[in-house]
Amino acid sequence: MNNSSSLSEKEIKAIQDALKKDKKPTIGLVGVSGVGKTSTINKMFKTHLPVSATIACTKNFETIDLELSMNQGIAKGQPIELTVVDAPGLAEDIKLDSQYLEMYHQHLPNCDVILYVLAARNRAMALDQMYLEKLKSFHQNMVFAINQVDLLDPMEWNEKINLPSDHQLANIQEVIKDRTEKLESVVEKEINLIAYSSKTGYNLQELFSSLLDACPPERKWLFQGLKSFHFTDFIPKETLAHLRQQGLI
């Protein structure tokens, strides 16, 4: 496939104009309070939004504009902006829920794709099911993911290679199966529930790729050139050097 180095100045100018003219690729993150939406944004896009383990930090829709460049396709090397929208967490306070849901319906139509985040250790799905019923008009644009899988029992995460133990992986797969069934009963479509960890970066590559793949067909070209994650991004540097020395990667 051609890249920007083999394009004429006229072709490059046409691509630049199209990138400026089109609405920025926009990803929204939603879910109940405490599932790690903001920490997901921080890890995935190397931002520094405030997070807290005890109280909700996001009270309004936070719009983050990121300066990126296309890294594949004919527009490779061309600058592009990506907008990430961090929504306030639902179920934080019954007095705020109606206000937050109204904000969801106001802002989410501007998103090309929406990431609905669950927490791995939260077995209770009734709240998520209830909120998803209220967000029915957005189901087709949603990607579903379950965060904090590194905290699932027996908590035998191997930090050297950033992977769960066999026992922990089996529990992750069991959780995925259970949550998938409960989600599909509400959204009435098959879903691919992605297990990841915003703390360790585990599976962020698959998650980001799934978000890009789920964008509207007419906007897909804007997203496809943004695939940029590699599993080595989230392996400690010392371990990475050792693996390379051993010829394992």
Specify whether the CB–CB gap between 38 and 84 falls below 8 A: no
Containing 119, the helix (H) or strand (E) segment is: strand 113-119
Answer yes or no: is pLDDT of 40 > 70.
yes
Backbone angles phi, psi at 73, to 5 degrees: 85, -175
Average pLDDT of every residue of the chain: 82
Distance CA 110, CA 108 (A): 5
- State the pTM of this model: 0.80
Amino acid 220: pLDDT: 77
Domains (ranges, CATH) in the chain? 4-245 (3.40.50.300)
User: 3-state DSSP call for residue 53?
Assistant: coil
Q: Which of 24-38, 71-85, 209-223 has the highest mean pLDDT?
A: 24-38
Q: How confident is the model at residue 89 (pLDDT cuts 50, 70, 90)?
A: confident
Tokens found for residue 117: 């985040």
Angle at 49 between CA 48 and CA 52, to 5 degrees: 115
Tokens found for residue 49: 């939004």
Mean pLDDT (whole number) for 172-191: 96
Backbone angles phi, psi at 148, to 5 degrees: 70, 30
Express each pLDDT in 184-222 by its tens digit: 999 989 999 999 999 999 999 899 889 988 888 877 777
